[in-house]
Every structure is written in structure tokens, then in C-alpha cells.
Structure 1
Amino acid sequence: MVEVGNLIRFILCYTLCLVYSTWIGIGLLIAYIFKRDPNIWTVKERPTPPRALTSNEFGEHKFMRVNGYRIHYVEKGDKTKPLILFIHGFPEFWYSWRFQLNEFSKDYHVIAIDQRGYAESDKPNTISAYHFDKMVGDIRQFVQQLGREKFTLIGHDWGAVIGFRYVMRHMDTIDKYVMIGAPPSEVWHKLLFSSVKQFLMSWYVFYFQMPFLPEFTTSLQDFQMFKVMKHQTEEELEAYKYTFGKEGALTGPINYYRASAKFLFPDQPLKRPEKFAPGLYMLGEGDKYISPDSGKMAKELYDNLDFKFIKGANHFAQQHKPDETNRLIREFLEKPTPPQSLTNNEFGEHKFMTVNGIKIHYVENGDKNKPLMMFIHGFPEFWYSWRFQLNEFNKDYHVIAIDQRGYGDSDKPSKISDYHIDEMVEDIHQIIKQLGHEKFILVGHDWGAAIGFRYVIKHMETIEKYVMIGAPPKEVFDQLVTSSLKQFFMSWYMFFFQMPVLPEFFTRFYDMKSFRMMKHQTEEETEAYKYTFGKEGALTGPINYYRAGTSSQPDPPLKRPERFAPGLYMLGEFDRFISHDSGILTKELYENLDFKIIKGANHFAQQHKPDETNRLIREFMEQEI
């Protein structure tokens, strides 16, 4: 069936090649007959390069031998600073990055290359030498010869296609990446055969399969086609005409399309990296070659990828609207870099799962054949709050710590109603189903405990044991806050959090000093929280848990299970947010439940006193049922 599909695509590809070639040929003939303009065939001789291509205005011109080919590049900036490598597309060369070379050389070591087949770089004769996997290899070896372990990669058009491919294969070498004007090849292929708009936008891809004719028509009327780039000066336009006016200068670039006729057929999926570096994909607002639908599809394929439009720009955005393009690139590059503890696999493997339409990030560790222990964080926390437990219990359990919806790297719904406690209960239930477990151990803290207690009542049949820390069931809390003056005053923040905007502002106040109340053991641990909650909109989802949880009407009582699994409820000895009276009330509501105080611990016990917390959890887990 696959072979038949590929045969149909092959026939379609070369049929369209003939159709477009015939159409263009007839159009040229008609234009010549009726206009009788002899200049239509003329290409002006340009023996002398424009000054912009010979001066060092944009950087120093150099060469490097890569995979047997001499590659020309332009280099600028301090070599001790981080490297940005720019990869051009079609029909471009290093000069397409002139505005970026001047802008980013102030803060980076910047290099723009001529890809093989282009401008001053070598031009292999065989079409197979231009498959984009070969260019991925060129980038890899080029960076190795520079002696760099990591760098920022920025690509446009074919440079973006190649760049996305490089990122997927060599993510370990990428700090950040920006791709402009073209999606990953997998996305383009899917769009080509599912979107009429993209199919029609891609007519030239089929036409370029024809030998000779594309080179001829591209050069007509003294390279009239270069005017689509909307160059700002005549000298800029002349730089292109001089470069591509040389004998054979167009064959290499067009061979990228010919070598990738298989580009029209589905590739074998590449092995996904364990964790993705931060990425940005951008399209010109007026791009006539790539559908905006590619943005959403690229984000689904590449984790940690943002998508933006460049206002007022055409396909050649970095040249057409350089100031806006540079602003967006700089804004992206200057976003804080996550602490190492959030990007390496010290605490487990980072993964994603789509649950109830929400993409949930989680960290997984331990033997998958062992019993599952799932950790649910509270406010203001994320998966990282369970780092000590992930390392402790992965020895004997398959452990998972999630970012709840609205937190960390998980999706952040915009509606307050999406943060009702019952929504999170169902998230947990769906995660367990997708993991293929019938029973598991649930451990929650703060909001994670409130949600956990709710889950236990609703889905007791899936619970082996459970441990809740730092918050009682919602019913107990509601009772205490209206009957205990002490709990009422301890809960002041819940009333404050009903205010829009202001809670987010004050939580960020003074470099998010509030996170110090967790009593982290190292500065890096505090920085992990500041980085995560310092992102735009990162606090609204978490505070919406409180906004969604306030109701003038008490919740109807849930149906009690016939039998309760063993449970443990714990509070820090010096918890300033939850009254110890909640222990007795919770034991009355939940049968087979024990209550303990974690000596010396504050509210964030699993982080503040991890050894004591882990000891009590392990002691409970080892008790016979």
C-alpha cells in the first residue's frame, strides 16, 4: 500500500513538473510575441563585485574545508562570546544575513555561511550532494572545527528546513535556535498533501524538478525575480544579481529541490531527543510560500518551541523587515536560560502526554516494571518540588512527578473554570490510564494533596496507598476556615488571590523573594523556581486554582467508597498555612488513614526536610496492608 502511494506521488510530482514547465514556457512565448522585448533574455555582465561583497563592513571573509568542500563564510564579533551561526535559504547567500551580522555581533560571535552550491562555496556536480542531510553534516563538522560544543542556530527557508533537521539530530549541541520562513520537512510534507493552500503555494517545488529550464527562467530580465525580496537599495539588489549571474551559480541552489524530490515522500521519523532546547519558529505576516498552519504543527512536533509572526514582512523577513526580525530574535535570545537541574536527566527523563486536550509535562525515573508512585505538586511548585523523592524512591518504584495544568512546561488553559479541582482529578485518572496501570501510589502536596484526597474518594479502586502532605481534603479545609479563627487568619492569601492581576504582580515583586520561604538548600534550587515562574503568564494558571476553587455554595458530598486504601496525611511541625486540627478531622472523614507531624519542617516539608519526609513515607510504604 505504501509503495502504491509513493508511486502515485511520483507520477503526480513529475506530471506537475511538466504542467508547470509547459505553462511557463507558453507564457514566455506569448510575452515575447506580443511585447517583442529583446531584453527579456538579457543578463547584464557584471565583472566587478559590489563593494558590499568585498569590504569587511559585515565581517571578515574566510574559508573552511568541510566534508571535502570549501565553504565560504563571513565572521564578526568577539570569539570568546557565544556563537550564532546563520544558515541562508533559496535564493540567498551569506549576504541575506547582513542586518543580523551587524546587529548581533555586538553581543555574540556571529558567522553566516554560504551553503555548498552557493556563491563562493564549492559547487558539487552531482544532484545527490545536495540532499539536506548532507548540509546537516556540513553544519555539524563546521561547528566542530570551530571548537564549539554548543551554539545558537538561526536559519531561513532551506536554512530553516536544514536547521530543524540539525536540531532533531544534534540537540545536545544547541543552546537555542530560531527558524524563519520554513517548517520542519515532516510538517511541510504533511501540509503539502493535506492543505490545498500549501499545495498551490508550493508550485515552484514541482517546477524545479525540470532540468535547465528553472535556471534559464530565473535569470530572465536580468534576474527580475530578485525584486520579490524587496531590497532597500539598488546596491543590495546588485549584490544578488552579481552573485547569481556567474556561470552555473543557479544550478547548485536549484539542485537542493531536485535532490529532495524524495522530500515529496514521507521520511522515516527521526529519533526524538530526550529534551528540546528552546526554539522559535517565525513566519512573515505576508509569506506567500508557507502556510501559517505550519506554526501549530511545528509546535506539536518540537517541544519547547514558540511560534510568532513578523509583522508586515514577506517571505524574506530578515531582509524585508530586519528591525522587527532582529527585535524578535533578540527578545527570544535574552530570555533567561533554565538552570542545569531543569534540563539534564539528574532526576529523571522529561516527557509529555496529552491529557483531556492538555499537554502535560512530567519527569519519569525508575524501573517501569515496578509499582508506580505518582507525585502531584502544589502551589507555588512544579515537578521539581519532588526532586528529593524522585531520587530516593526510584530505587524501588517507577516514579513520576508531573507539572499540573497551568504549571511549568505543561499547557496553560486561559479560562478560570479549567482549573477547578475536579478537572485535575480527571487529569490524574487519564494519565494513569495512558500509562497502562490499574493501581498506583499517589503522593500529593498542598494543592496536590487537596486534589489527591479528591481523587482517592472518586477513584479508590485504582489506589494502592496514598500519602498527602500539607493540605487536608477540601471538605475539611472549608469546615476549618469557617469554624476556626486560627485557620481563617492562616488562609488570608486565598482571599487575596481572588483579585485579578494584583496577586501575580506581588508574587513577582522583589525578584520573587517569596520563594525563599521554601528554605531551599542551594541558590540553584531557588533559581529553578524563579526561572520557571518568571516566564510570562507563568503565575496566572497556578493562582487560578484559587480563583476556580472559590464558590458561595459548598460542594455536594461525594459518594464514599466501600473500602479505603491505607493512607497517610502529614503536616510540617511549623506549617504556617494549615492548622494541625485538620489531622483529626481528616481521620474522621477518611477511614484507614494515619496522621503524622514532620519534625522541624515548614509547609514545604518534602523540600525543607526531605530526609525526614522520605523516612516517614518509606516507613508507611513498608507497612503491610
Structure 2
Amino acid sequence: MRQELRSLSTGITMNVAITGHDDAPPAILLHGFPESHRTWREVEKRLEDRVRLIMPDLRGFGQTDRPAGVEAYSTETLVADIFALADELDVERFTLVGHDWGGAIAWAAALRGNPRVERLGIVNSPHPLIFQKSLVEDEAQRAASQYITAFRDPGMEAAITRMGFDTFFDKSFSKHVDLARISSDERARYIADWSRPGALTAMLNWYRASQIFVPPMGEETVMPDWVERGLPKLHMPVRVIWGIEDKALLPVQLEGMGEVGDDVEVFPLKGVGHFAPWEAPDKVADALAPFLAGN
């Protein structure tokens, strides 16, 4: 695997990890919060002989630029980064795969109907319509998502700084992953990324820029207008891989998933939580391999 810094037409320099044969089918893999391209470190080892894997540090994360201001993290801008990266690498058509926030951007890119996205792979990242409906209608999901409101608080950076990055690391991952599975070297890599000037604010700005509405607990609320209007149906093949033990995104997110597109397959992973690429790289790679190869 090699890493490259690429200047994009969207005005940022993006760090990109690339592996696999140049003439293999290309796939762009997007990580989530609070990670980097290293989300895929175990999965890519199992796929690199069959697929050209392009794994960026997304805007604000890892070694990629961290623009100031919430407006720099709008969905439109984040989607534009992905197509700008494809342009920079001379990749015309590709499969797009995303986990967590990376999945949110993958959903958004696919929903815009750009034919360059040939297939969509999702790992524990909810369809925006299903997610927003569940935040209004499902009490358990609303409770599980209150952290989003906390992350939007302008005092969150100071709170994390006070607790220290080691504690933040444990709080971020301990509910989802056995910390014994994470080496001291990996922990150090993540903390080094978070410690870069402006990194914490940049990562949290993904939450602040999002249009997802999280109602307070116990409060009756109406469904946002955009939910009533609906979203386009997807026409490319979609493969959803889901760790069923996810504590942040509950199984309610799979209800109606088969109806969001013409060709949707769901692969539930029993005994696996939110960070499925860490916890079960074999299962994730097995589910992705034939899909990414176009089979």
C-alpha cells in the first residue's frame, strides 16, 4: 500500500492510500468518525489481489487538509471531494464503499444519480431517509443518537481536551470494539491525527454541518418536510453489510432497506458491532469481494 498527497479541484490536499493492481476494478473506500483510511487496514489485505482500492483520509481527518468553518463540511462539498479525487486519479467509473460517516457520503453520492458510481457498498451506515424517520419514531434509536447533539455543542472540543485523547479513544471505541484488539501503535496513530491543529474541530464539523435532525428525548416532533418528499430510488446494485450488535445504529435501520433501490442485498453479521471492518475483516471482505469485482 502506498500513500499519496493529491491536490483536488475542490481546494484541498487529500491523503490517499492506494493498493491493488492498476488495471483491476476500482473501488473508493470511505472511512467514518473518528478514523482515517486505516479503517480498512485489515480488509484491504484481503482484497488487494482482486480490486484497485483507493482509500482517502476524508476532509478534516487523518493527513488530509482541515479547512476552518462548518460550511466547509456540507454534504455537497464532501460529495464533490469524492468525484474530484476520482478525476485526479483518472478513475471514470467506480464502486463506492462507505462505513459510518463515509457511508453517509456514499449514500449521498449515489442518491445524486451520477452514473460514475457503478455500485454502492455500505457498512453500518444508515440510509438517510430510514435514519431520519427512526430518529422521530423510534425511541431507542433516538436515545442511541443523542451523542450527535453532544458532538454539535460548541464546547465539545474543550471537553475532549480536558478528558485527554487517551480517554476519548477509550470512550469512542470501548462500547463497540474489544480494546485489547487495538495495538498501542494503532492507538498512537489515531491520537497523533487527532492532535494536529484544528483536527478535532474539523472532525466534529461533520456533525455540525449535517442536516439530520435529532429530537430531544421525550419531545414530540413532526417529521421534517424532506422525509415526506422522499428520496430517489437507487438503480445501481447496492450491498449493505451490517454488524447487528451496533450500539449506535440499531437494527431498525435495516427495516425497509430492501426498498431503497432496485437491487439491494443485505448481509447481517451476527456478533459484530459498529466497527465491522475492525471486528470482522474476513466477513466484510468476503461480502465485498465478489461485489467489488463486478460479479
Report TM bin, short chain.
0.7 to 0.9
In the alignment, residue 301 of structure 1 is paired with which amino acid? Answer: V
- The runs of 5 or more residues in structure 1 that have no matched partner are 1-57, 337-625
What is the rounded CA distance, in whole Å, between the counterparts of 1:267 and 1:59 in structure 2?
41
Match of 1:278 in 2: 237
Match of 1:73 in 2: 16
Contact map agreement 1:85 1:112 (CA 8 A) in 2: yes
Higher helix share: 1
Contact map agreement 2:120 2:239 (CA 8 A) in 1: yes
Contact map agreement 2:4 2:17 (CA 8 A) in 1: yes
What is the rounded CA distance, in whole Å, between the counterparts of 1:276 and 1:122 in structure 2?
33
Rate the CA distance shift 1:223–1:303 in 2: closer, same or farther, 3 A. Answer: farther
What is the rounded CA distance, in whole Å, between the counterparts of 2:255 and 2:161 in structure 1?
32
In the alignment, residue 165 of structure 1 is paired with which amino acid? Answer: A
Aligned length: 277
Match of 2:209 in 1: 259
CA deviation after TM superposition for structure 1 residue 315, in Å:
0.7
What is the rounded CA distance, in whole Å, between the counterparts of 2:257 and 2:37 in structure 1?
26
What is the rounded CA distance, in whole Å, between the counterparts of 2:47 and 2:129 in structure 1?
30
Match among 198, 203, 220 for residue 248 of structure 1: 198
Match among 80, 90, 93 for residue 147 of structure 1: 90
Q: Deviations over 1:533-566 (max 9, x none)?
A: xxxxxxxxxxxxxxxxxxxxxxxxxxxxxxxxxx
CA deviation after TM superposition for structure 1 residue 211, in Å:
0.4
* Within-5 A mapping of 1:85-96: 85-96=28-39
Match of 1:301 in 2: 260
Match of 1:440 in 2: none
What is the rounded CA distance, in whole Å, between the counterparts of 2:2 and 2:206 in structure 1?
27
Match of 2:221 in 1: none
Contact map agreement 1:73 1:113 (CA 8 A) in 2: yes
The alignment status of 1:211 with 2:171, answered yes or no, reads: no
CA deviation after TM superposition for structure 1 residue 104, in Å:
1.7
Using the size of structure 1 for normalisation, the TM-score is: 0.42
SS in 2 for 1:294: helix
The alignment status of 1:287 with 2:230, answered yes or no, reads: no
SS in 1 for 2:13: strand
CA deviation after TM superposition for structure 1 residue 174, in Å:
2.1
The alignment status of 1:124 with 2:32, answered yes or no, reads: no
Q: Deviations over 1:133-173 (max 9, x none)?
A: 21111112221232222111110001111101111113411
In the alignment, residue 20 of structure 2 is paired with which amino acid? Answer: G
Using the size of structure 2 for normalisation, the TM-score is: 0.86
In the alignment, residue 165 of structure 2 is paired with which amino acid? Answer: D
Match of 1:238 in 2: 188
CA deviation after TM superposition for structure 1 residue 199, in Å:
0.1
What is the rounded CA distance, in whole Å, between the counterparts of 1:255 and 1:266 in structure 2?
24
What is the rounded CA distance, in whole Å, between the counterparts of 2:111 and 2:104 in structure 1?
11
What is the rounded CA distance, in whole Å, between the counterparts of 2:5 and 2:182 in structure 1?
26
Rate the CA distance shift 1:222–1:253 in 2: closer, same or farther, 3 A. Answer: closer
* Within-5 A mapping of 1:92-491: 92-214=35-157, 216-217=159-160, 220-227=163-170, 228=173, 229-230=177-178, 231-260=181-210, 262-264=211-213, 265-267=224-226, 272=232, 276-333=235-292, 336=295
Over the aligned positions, Cα root-mean-square deviation in angstroms equals 2.1
Rate the CA distance shift 1:167–1:157 in 2: closer, same or farther, 3 A. Answer: same
SS in 2 for 1:326: helix
What is the rounded CA distance, in whole Å, between the counterparts of 2:133 and 2:126 in structure 1?
11
What is the rounded CA distance, in whole Å, between the counterparts of 1:116 and 1:62 in structure 2?
12
Rate the CA distance shift 1:215–1:335 in 2: closer, same or farther, 3 A. Answer: farther
What is the rounded CA distance, in whole Å, between the counterparts of 1:250 and 1:147 in structure 2?
32
SS in 2 for 1:140: helix
In the alignment, residue 291 of structure 1 is paired with which amino acid? Answer: L
* Within-5 A mapping of 1:517-528: none
What is the rounded CA distance, in whole Å, between the counterparts of 2:285 and 2:158 in structure 1?
32
What is the rounded CA distance, in whole Å, between the counterparts of 1:313 and 1:215 in structure 2?
32
Structure number with greater Rg is 1
What is the rounded CA distance, in whole Å, between the counterparts of 2:107 and 2:168 in structure 1?
27
What is the rounded CA distance, in whole Å, between the counterparts of 1:72 and 1:219 in structure 2?
29
What is the rounded CA distance, in whole Å, between the counterparts of 1:144 and 1:320 in structure 2?
33
What is the rounded CA distance, in whole Å, between the counterparts of 1:103 and 1:62 in structure 2?
24
- The runs of 5 or more residues in structure 2 that have no matched partner are 214-223
Bigger shift: 178-187 or 222-231?
222-231
What is the rounded CA distance, in whole Å, between the counterparts of 1:321 and 1:63 in structure 2?
31
Rate the CA distance shift 1:78–1:333 in 2: closer, same or farther, 3 A. Answer: closer
Rate the CA distance shift 1:101–1:198 in 2: closer, same or farther, 3 A. Answer: same
Pick 1 or 2: higher relative contact order, CA cutoff 8 A, min separation 6.
2
